Structure 1
Amino acid sequence: MKRKVILTFICFIILVVSNQVIFHFDIKRQYYDAEIINKAGKQRMFSQKLIKLALYADEARNTSNFESKLEDYITTFNDFNSGNYYINHIDLDFYENPYLEELYKTNQLYFSKIEKASLEIINDANNEQLFNNFLTTVKSNEGTFLVSMDKIVQEYQRISEHKIDNFEKMQLIFNATTLLLLIYALFFIIVPLFKTKAKKIADIA
Structure 2
Amino acid sequence: MKQLDQQVARRLTRFYVMALTVIAVLSVSGLLFIRRTISTHYADSRVVNVAGRQRMLSQRLTKLAVLRTTGLSSADTVSFDSLLHSWSQTHMQLRNGILAMEQAYMVRKSATLDSMFTRIEPAFRSIYKSFIRINNPQTTPADQQKALQIILKDEPAFLQQMNDIVFQFDTESFGRVKQLERIEWILTIATLLTLVIEGLFIFRPVVNYTKLIIHRLDRSEKTLQLVNRDLDVANRELAATNQNLAASNRKLVDTQQELLRTTEEKYQLQLAEDTVRSAALLEGQEEERRRFARELHDGIGQMLTGLKLHAEKLKSVSFPDEKHRLRFAELCDMIADTIQTTRQVSYNLMPSTLSDFGLGPTLQLLAEQTTRSAGIDVLFEGNRDGERLSPAMEIGLYRIAQEALHNAIKYAEAKTIQINLQQNPDKLVLLVSDNGKGFSVKTPSKVDKPLPMVNGLENMRTRSRLLNGELTIVSKPKKGTTVTVTVNLS
TM bin, normalised by shorter chain, reads 0.7 to 0.9
- Mapped to 1, the partners of 2:13 and 2:77 lie a distance apart of 79
Deviation for aligned residue 1:47: 1.3
Deviation for aligned residue 1:171: 1.1
User: Structure 1 residue 35 and structure 2 residue 46: aligned?
Assistant: yes
Aligned residue in 2 for 1:187 = 200
- Mapped to 1, the partners of 2:69 and 2:137 lie a distance apart of 14
| Secondary structure in 2 matching 1:88 | helix
Larger CA Rg, structure 1 vs 2: 2
- Mapped to 1, the partners of 2:153 and 2:119 lie a distance apart of 15
User: Structure 1 residue 131 and structure 2 residue 131: aligned?
Assistant: no
- Mapped to 1, the partners of 2:199 and 2:47 lie a distance apart of 47
Q: Quick one: which amino acid aligns to residue 116 of structure 1?
A: K
More helix by share: 1
Larger deviation, residues 117-126 vs 156-165: 117-126
Q: Provide the identity percentage.
A: 22
Aligned residue in 2 for 1:56 = 67
Q: 1:113 aligns with which of 126, 129, 138?
A: 126
User: What CA deviation, in whole Å up to 9, does each residue of 1:16-67 have, x standing for no partner?
Assistant: 2211210111111101101110110000111111222222222217xxx49x
More strand by share: 2
8 Å CA contact retained: 2:120, 2:158? yes
> Structure 2 vs 1, CA of residues 58 and 69 (structure 1 numbering), >3 Å: closer, same or farther?
farther
Q: Quick one: which amino acid aligns to residue 55 of structure 1?
A: V
User: Structure 1 residue 156 and structure 2 residue 169: aligned?
Assistant: yes
8 Å CA contact retained: 1:50, 1:76? yes
RMSD (Å) for aligned C-alpha atoms? 2.5
8 Å CA contact retained: 1:37, 1:153? yes
Larger deviation, residues 149-158 vs 122-131: 122-131
Deviation for aligned residue 1:125: 5.0
Q: Quick one: which amino acid aligns to residue 127 of structure 2?
A: I
Deviation for aligned residue 1:86: 2.2
Q: Figure out how many residues of one structure are paired with residues of the other and give that number.
A: 200
8 Å CA contact retained: 1:110, 1:141? yes
After the TM superposition, which segments of 4 or more aligned residues of structure 1 sit over 4 Å from their partners?
68-72, 93-96
Q: 1:14 aligns with which of 25, 32, 56?
A: 25
- Mapped to 2, the partners of 1:192 and 1:160 lie a distance apart of 48
- Mapped to 1, the partners of 2:168 and 2:40 lie a distance apart of 16
Alignment TM-score, normalising by the size of structure 1: 0.86
Q: 1:85 aligns with which of 54, 67, 92?
A: 92
Q: 2:210 aligns with which of 182, 187, 197?
A: 197
Give the unaligned 5+ runs of structure 1: none
Q: Quick one: which amino acid aligns to residue 41 of structure 1?
A: G
Q: Quick one: which amino acid aligns to residue 212 of structure 2?
A: K
Alignment TM-score, normalising by the size of structure 2: 0.38
User: What CA deviation, in whole Å up to 9, does each residue of 1:111-148 have, x standing for no partner?
Assistant: 11111111122224541232012101111111111011
Deviation for aligned residue 1:72: 4.5
Deviation for aligned residue 1:71: 6.9
| Secondary structure in 1 matching 2:97 | coil
